[in-house]
Structure 1
Amino acid sequence: MLDDDKVSALLARARREVDDGLLPAVQLAIGLDGEVVVDETFGADPATRFVPFSCTKALVGAALWRLVGDGDLDLTAPVATYVPAFATNDKEGVTVEQVLMHVGGFPTAPLGPGRWETREGRLEAFARWRLTLTPGETFMYHPTAGHWVLAEIIETLAGEPYADAVERLVTAPLGLPRLLGIPRDQQDGILDAVAVGEPPTADEMEEAFGVRVDLAALVPPDVAVGALLTLNAPEARELGVPGGGAVVRAADLARLYQAFLHDPEGLWDPEVLADATGTVRNQLPDLWGTPASRTRGGLVVAGDDGLAHRRGFGRTVSPRAFGHDGAGGQLAFADPETGLSVAYLTNGLDQHLIRQQRRDTAIASLAADLLPT
């Protein structure tokens, strides 16, 4: 049972962003004991669906865990074992687990509209890609490239399109709707993402992070959000970009993470699930010096170093909490200590990085602390 006063405080904080005109719409869901116990939407119809951006990565990871448990996939094997086209330009030694942990060495490898629609186009892109970092030595987040490779592994081993395999292996058995690769005639009620706000000034960045950076000059705002806004396109939603193009309600993510906690259908081998959600294998620092705290299951663990808020968990979770957030402030995680799962979505891509991160910390902290004391 949740504390009603704490729930009210959480909902008021989430609603405030819409009431103040900072975000056009938000959606929030809380799971507990295998059920969704809070499901609220502000600024849109309750049935509205959102693109959760990189929260999608947990969905793709969950399909891979099934393949590992069935003995079809060895995470320590080179990617080229399953995708021979990848074995070019010194990439033959890159392993599957390195890709899952974002140490594969090709973070900005290009693949977009015009090539990503067909398997042939994707394989041609893999063959052209070159390493920009030494695999295994540097943690550099791979926004989409790595998950295109992982999707191809799923497609190869499952013998069907990767989005169909994700549905068969994960969402359908859990009673969830199709969340990746949405047919054109089923795209009603999906809210387009929009850019809001302005980037922080160099003075604000220095005050907040101790580093003087002019973000607007470094990465123009239209470039920063341009790739994300391509996921508004019906053709992108139909394809289902595996690194960030799922289409969900917050309740879908809350239920998915309840399944990660309880596995009611026995989908995953228990050892594989425990490893994917709890064993940290990558502690290399990110650009800001924060240890990655990533598993080879493709998830992030809150950790006990006092930096959970930098990883999208807020300040009130246990060190065992796990999840994966998404661009623009999307949150998705579960905490084995409390049994809570949390999903927070918005279609407002706030360009003010500092405000967005403080919002994330506030929402996540309130959402993770809903049980009576």
Structure 2
Amino acid sequence: MTAASPLPSAFPLPSATPAELGLDPAKLDLLCARIEADIAAGHHPGAQVALARHGKLALFRSFGAARAGVAASDASLWLLYSNTKVITAAGLWALAEDGLLRLTDPIAQHLPGFEAGGKGAITFIELLTHQAGFPGAEIPPAAWEDAAKLRELVCALTLQWEPGSRVRYHPSAAHWVAAAVIRAVTGEDHRAYLRRRIIAPLGLDAELFVGVPVEMQARTADMHDVDGAVRMPEGTAAFLAAGVPGGGGYGTARAMAAFYQALLQGGALAGRRIISPRMMAYAVRNYTGDRVDEYNGMPMHRGLGPHLRGTTPAMRGLGAIAHPGTFGHGGVGSSYCWGDPESGLSFAFLSNTRQTEEFHGPRMDTLSTLAHAAVIS
């Protein structure tokens, strides 16, 4: 297999050995061995993993194949799926911090027309915590590059239940609403805004994309179904470019580990600040308590973008032994990224198969638990 091109620029996190960062190398070896075993067993062709702690990178490894005939490399870009939601949410945090909106505001205050169909009282908090009331809504590809059409469609969304009355994961449409708000408030496309305000200031603009430029698309890994077929429209030029705000970002594992390092460090990375510590503390509160998320069948302890471990017996993706304040998000069947504020550890695992939840849930619990167990000092 050929390998993808090398990384084009320096990275904001310096590297250190696991031992230098108080991590048990043996546990990280077990973590990597599990990834290798899953690839050998045919669960996915390739993957990438990264761990960082206290502003330094402890582990960054690529495994298997990114696409047919192309070995996974450190430059490979992996579909983040819903990990993208936290990046988009950070854009709303920044709008609030810059005084352009309040997260307690009704969305319609900043996106006139959104009030249609009984949506006038929905706040940004309800939107980001999956309480907005339209979990089944979708935005078609025809609106991806048409700002006027997107605004028309999100304003016409219809409610399935009263906003705030239930918690149910909104896979797609909620973050298209966020994209429409970003354009309405700033005049910028959400892709340009997120790059300017969140991604580039952290020094991650060569490895993290919401909307992959044409010249970077050859670095992307294919996404597969369980049967091995390449998924569509994922991987098409239109999908790569669209920057679907709830599920279309691409990045490296170390970029996502670094992004979560910034969130753990109160909104700054290597001296570059995007969000204040107070805004970060506000974003990672538990807004839904122990209410069950009907989509996941368990309490998800929703923050304003990420979800939290909490203290319920079961938790998706973050690791059973995680500190209750650990926060993060997953990508359907393929990935999880998180940060632990107690240990300072951030973690990112990205793969290129959309696996069943029956496989993905236990797999992520094992990998995340190994990462937490590696913290020994």
1:365 aligns to what?
369
1:261 aligns to what?
264
Corresponding residue SS for 1:172? helix
Letter of the structure 2 residue corresponding to residue 236 of structure 1: F
The question of whether the paired residues in 2 share the 8 Å contact of 1:49 and 1:249 is answered with yes
User: Of 311, 324, 330, which aligns to 1:325?
Assistant: 330
2:166 aligns to what?
138
Letter of the structure 1 residue corresponding to residue 222 of structure 2: D
- Work out the CA distance in 2 between the residues paired with 1:318 and 1:78: 33
2:189 aligns to what?
161
Letter of the structure 2 residue corresponding to residue 139 of structure 1: V
Corresponding residue SS for 2:273? coil
Corresponding residue SS for 1:251? helix
Structure (1/2) with the larger strand percentage: 2
- Work out the CA distance in 2 between the residues paired with 1:192 and 1:329: 12
- Work out the CA distance in 2 between the residues paired with 1:36 and 1:64: 28
Q: Deviations for 1:249-294, whole angstroms, at most 9, x for unmatched residues?
A: 11110000000011242321221111112x1111321225412301
Corresponding residue SS for 2:349? strand
1:34 aligns to what?
55
* Deviating more after overlay: 76-85 vs 251-260: 76-85
1:71 aligns to what?
99
Letter of the structure 2 residue corresponding to residue 282 of structure 1: T
The question of whether the paired residues in 1 share the 8 Å contact of 2:154 and 2:176 is answered with no
Q: 1:9 to 1:348 in 2, by over 3 A?
A: same
- Work out the CA distance in 2 between the residues paired with 1:255 and 1:135: 34
Q: Deviations for 1:271-319, whole angstroms, at most 9, x for unmatched residues?
A: 1111112x11113212254123011x21101102222xx3211112111
Query: Residues 81-160 of structure 1 correspond to what in structure 2 (within 5 A)?
Result: 81-160=109-188
Higher relative contact order (CA 8 A, sep 6+): 1
Q: Does 1:290 align with 2:295?
A: no
1:190 aligns to what?
220
The question of whether the paired residues in 1 share the 8 Å contact of 2:316 and 2:361 is answered with no
The question of whether the paired residues in 2 share the 8 Å contact of 1:49 and 1:247 is answered with yes
- Give the structure-1-normalised TM-score: 0.87
Q: CA deviation at 1:164?
A: 0.7
Q: CA deviation at 1:350?
A: 1.5
The question of whether the paired residues in 1 share the 8 Å contact of 2:316 and 2:365 is answered with no
The question of whether the paired residues in 2 share the 8 Å contact of 1:276 and 1:298 is answered with yes
- Work out the CA distance in 2 between the residues paired with 1:231 and 1:112: 14
Q: Deviations for 1:192-216, whole angstroms, at most 9, x for unmatched residues?
A: 1110159xxxxxxxxxxxxxxxxxx
Corresponding residue SS for 1:280? coil
- Work out the CA distance in 2 between the residues paired with 1:157 and 1:231: 29
- Work out the CA distance in 2 between the residues paired with 1:52 and 1:266: 23
Q: Deviations for 1:96-152, whole angstroms, at most 9, x for unmatched residues?
A: 111111000011112121122211111121232210111001111110100000111
Letter of the structure 2 residue corresponding to residue 234 of structure 1: A
User: Of 275, 280, 289, which aligns to 1:273?
Assistant: 280
Q: CA RMSD in A?
A: 1.7
Q: CA deviation at 1:23?
A: 1.1
- Work out the CA distance in 2 between the residues paired with 1:247 and 1:36: 20
- Work out the CA distance in 1 between the residues paired with 2:94 and 2:310: 25
Q: Deviations for 1:39-80, whole angstroms, at most 9, x for unmatched residues?
A: 111113212111110000111111211111122111111111
Q: 1:154 to 1:127 in 2, by over 3 A?
A: closer
2:69 aligns to what?
none
1:204 aligns to what?
none
The question of whether the paired residues in 1 share the 8 Å contact of 2:308 and 2:325 is answered with yes
Q: Does 1:239 align with 2:242?
A: yes
The question of whether the paired residues in 2 share the 8 Å contact of 1:109 and 1:145 is answered with yes
Letter of the structure 2 residue corresponding to residue 33 of structure 1: H
User: Of 197, 204, 215, which aligns to 1:176?
Assistant: 204
The question of whether the paired residues in 2 share the 8 Å contact of 1:197 and 1:350 is answered with no
Corresponding residue SS for 2:152? helix
Q: Deviations for 1:6-54, whole angstroms, at most 9, x for unmatched residues?
A: 1111111111111111211111010112122211111132121111100
Corresponding residue SS for 1:150? helix
Q: CA deviation at 1:337?
A: 0.9
2:310 aligns to what?
303
Q: Does 1:348 align with 2:353?
A: yes
- Work out the CA distance in 1 between the residues paired with 2:60 and 2:297: 35
Letter of the structure 1 residue corresponding to residue 254 of structure 2: A
- Work out the CA distance in 2 between the residues paired with 1:171 and 1:368: 26
- Unpaired runs of at least 5, structure 2: 1-20, 66-71
Structure (1/2) with the larger helix percentage: 1
The question of whether the paired residues in 2 share the 8 Å contact of 1:105 and 1:135 is answered with yes
